[in-house]
A and B are shown apart, each in its own frame.
Chain A
Amino acid sequence: MSSAVILEAENLQRIYKMGSVEVGALRGVDLEVHHGEFVVILGVSGSGKSTLLHLLGGLDRPTEGRVLIEGEDLSELSDNQLADVRLRKVGFVFRFFNLMPQLTARGNVELPLFLADVPAQEAKTRSTELLDLVGLSERRDHRPMELSGGEQQRVAIARALANQPKIVLADEPTGNLDTATGADIIQLLREVNEEQRQTVIVVCHDQRLTSVADRVIEMRDGQFVSKRLGKGGKM
């Protein structure tokens, strides 16, 4: 492996406190992801996948351990700086799409661009490109309500790519889609990974994703239990 390490996690732990009960959702995870890699983390529901993804993307802070993106330690950042990391360095894709219902497909893709103060004209060009890329040239002005699940997830992927992030983090992106549509989304993520050399980390329990992964990690009870190369392995 020649390319640079883009993301590191060291001894990540996350304990949720619910009153006097403590839930150890993540119990010491180490991870190193290289530029352009497609990593799939498999695990059953409740194994701590979402928790891990939130920590990797700076949406939450670990109880123990640290995350470094391009060598930058997220634990040393203020809330505002962490927001900037989410804005510019990572792109999230969620199971339930999480689009803004009042905005059109274009509006949703432009939202992170405007958050980053990209001028209107540039944002328009960029959103057009991205919607073309995910195959939604015809659906730019539709609102989420008027789009199918698969189409909504495509908008979400376009939105995640808007500010050219270092890493795309996807949380069960096929979990809310039928088999065929799910396969299309897997295909799209793979294309994005291969054609743009975009680093992608997907957490899911969809075995099909292992076919496009460079690396597959299995997770159980907040820990990694096995690591192997995926069938997509291009390294």
Chain B
Amino acid sequence: MKARRILGLAWTNMKRRKFRTSLTALGIIIGIMATVSISALGTGFREEVSTRLLQGFEPDIISVLPASDLLTSWGFDYLTLYEAEDIAEMEGVEVAMPIQVRGTVLYHVDDDSNHVETRLIGANFTKLQQIYGHRLNFAEGGMPDPVENNSAILGFLSEPFFHAGDEVKANILFRNATGGLEFVNHTFTLSGILEEVGYSGAVPIDRSLFIPLETCSEIHNYEWIDAIIVKVEDPSLAGDVAQAIRDYYFDNVLVLVPSQVIETLDGIFNIINLFLVAIASIALLVAGVSILNIMLVSVMERTREIGIMKALGARSRTVLFQFLAEAAILGFLGGLIGIGLGYCLAYVLGQLAPRLVSALGLEGIFGTEFYLSPVLSIETFLFALAFAVVISILFALYPARKAAKLDPVRALRYE
């Protein structure tokens, strides 16, 4: 009997038992749905995070932060200029740039009508050039020359309020020696406005007002350093230099190496993937067992039909293929529906991602607009579909063999 005919007959059989067919398919649908939705979200998450990380990927830049740990009181509470000097002397280090980071609101000096919230970064302009020269493209103006106490350059803002040459007033927020919040005003002259960078690295440039570190330190009377940005001579040295710094300070500092962060994330993703594969296997195993079960009942019920087929001259193989064809159709349709539903589910969950981010207090890392788009590659689609079909056929093998082996005379007598 031709394959097309066998499929046709299988399909007719399945249509006759719509309820049972749906019930059997349900296992496959749910299994595939779960697998596809999680995998689509996982891939979406991975791509989103990698894109964000890789855009600002700086293989030759490492960040040194105080490793203050409130629980163990281990680690430095803050860094000083001395650490920056020490690190600058270390082997493989090209530049070590100490920075202070604050929040500020910018106004025009004699016009309060427009204001913008920005980041305030105190840094040495020469070192900033050495490390981020390639990212500092001026839309207007340029570097201050010479650098004065009140020199400043401004990163890209979506609000076009400020221009090169403007006098701006920065209303700077900081924590004083006793821990209270205070404001201080200071006036700067903008020597240049930068073009948009579009991504962040160790030092975010968009929406940042760069001022000399000394000025920053003086105006709020604070000499501690928030971070030291280190550029190594060659990206391949990043790991070694980072370790040298950790060792030098007996692990009292936190050293971030971008490639290590990505490796760590990759490791996490791999664990998540493994977990997903495990879930998928269990879900499909359950689906498979339900197919096995329902098919066995079906073979019992259809014993007489099987007898008729054989009496008419069907070979055992034809009977076997007929049941396998039913399973294959079931797996195919169940798989398709499962993939469709899984994608929809992933989409809905992706839309809920910002809420999850805020519930976990992770806005700092992911931002408030962290919508996850599920990503379903052709490979995943085909793999899921093939998997559904293969699982269905695999678990139908035993009942189908049972049907094929039935003795026709006995089968015909079966009531």
B302-317 CB contacts (< 8 Å) to partner A: 304-305, 307-317
* Distance from A123 Cβ to chain B, minimum over Cβ atoms (Å): 10
**Interchain nearest-CB distance for B347 vs A (Å):** 39
Complex contact A114–B2 (CB within 8 A): yes
A215 touches B (CB below 8 Å): no
Q: B12 contacts which of A80, A88, A103 (Cβ < 8 Å)?
A: A103
Q: Which residue of B lies closest to A165 (CB)?
A: B313
Tell me what chain B mostly uses at the interface: helix, strand, loop, or mixed: helix
Partner of A59, one of B1, B12, B304, B408: B408
Interface centre among A60, A85, A114 (most CB of B within 10 A): A114
Looking at B16, B305, B307, B315, the one whose CB has the most chain A CB atoms below 10 A away is B315
Give B314's nearest chain A residue, CB to CB.
A115
Q: Contact residue range for chain B?
A: 20 to 34
A59-B409, A117-B2 known; A100-B313 Cβ under 8 A:
no
Q: Are B412 and A98 in contact (CB under 8 A)?
A: yes
Chain B 311-329, CB-CB to A under 8 Å as 1, else 0, gives 1111111100000000000
Do residues A102 and B16 form an inter-chain contact, with CB atoms below 8 A? yes
Q: Are A101 and B313 also in contact (CB < 8 A) when A114-B2, A117-B1 are?
A: no
Complex Cα distance, B2 from A102, in Å, reads: 19
Is the CB of B13 closer than 8 A to any CB of chain A? yes
Interface residues of B in 91-108 (CB under 8 A from A): none
B residues in contact with A88, CB < 8 Å:
313
With A60-B409, A114-B5 known as contacts, the answer to whether A98 contacts B308 (CB < 8 A) is: yes
Interface centre among A79, A115, A116 (most CB of B within 10 A): A115
**Cross-chain contact A115 with B409 (CB below 8 angstroms):** no
Contacts of A38 in B (CB 8 A): none
Asked whether any CB of chain B lies closer than 8 Å to the CB of A154, the reply is no
Q: Which residues of B have CB within 8 Å of A92?
A: 311-312
Query: CA separation between A23 and B1, bound complex, in Å?
Result: 37
A103 to chain B: which residues have CB within 8 Å?
Answer: 12
Determine whether A155 belongs to the interface, using a CB cutoff of 8 Å to chain B. no
A102 engages B13 (CB within 8 Å): yes
Interface mask (A69-86 → B, CB under 8 Å = 1, otherwise 0): 000000000011001111
Interfacial chain A residues near B9, Cβ < 8 Å: 111
Q: In the bound complex, do residue A100 and residue B308 qualify as a contact, i.e. CB atoms below 8 Å apart?
A: yes
Residue of B nearest to A114 (CB): B5
Asked whether A115 lies within 8 Å of B305 as measured between CB atoms, the reply is no
Residue pair B315, A114 in contact (C-beta under 8 Å): no
The residues of B that contact A60 with a CB separation of less than 8 Å are 408-409
In the complex, which residue of chain A has the Cβ closest to the Cβ of B312?
A112
- Closest residue to B12 on the A side, CB-wise? A102
Answer yes or no: A94 CB below 8 A from chain B CBs: yes
Which residues of chain B have C-beta atoms less than 8 A from A83's C-beta?
310, 313-316
CB distance from B48 to the nearest CB of A (A): 50
CA distance A92 to B310 in the complex (A): 11
- Given known contacts A54-B409, A60-B409, A117-B1, is B12 in contact with A84 (CB within 8 Å)? no
Contacts of B304 in A (CB 8 A): 98
Per-residue contact bits, chain B 2-20, to A (CB 8 Å; 1 contact, 0 not): 1001000100110110000
Give which listed residue, B1, B16, B307, contacts A114 with CB less than 8 A. B1
Which 4 interchain pairs have the tightest Cβ spacing? A87-B313, A86-B313, A102-B16, A83-B315
16 contacts between A and B (CB under 8 A): A54-B409, A59-B408, A59-B412, A79-B316, A80-B315, A80-B316, A83-B313, A83-B315, A86-B313, A92-B312, A100-B308, A101-B305, A102-B15, A103-B12, A111-B312, A112-B313
Identify 6 new A-B residue pairs, CB closer than 8 A, beyond the known A87-B312, A101-B305, A117-B1. A57-B311, A79-B316, A86-B313, A87-B313, A107-B12, A115-B1
Binding site for A on B (CB under 8 A): 1-2, 5, 9, 12-13, 15-16, 304-305, 307-318, 408-409, 412
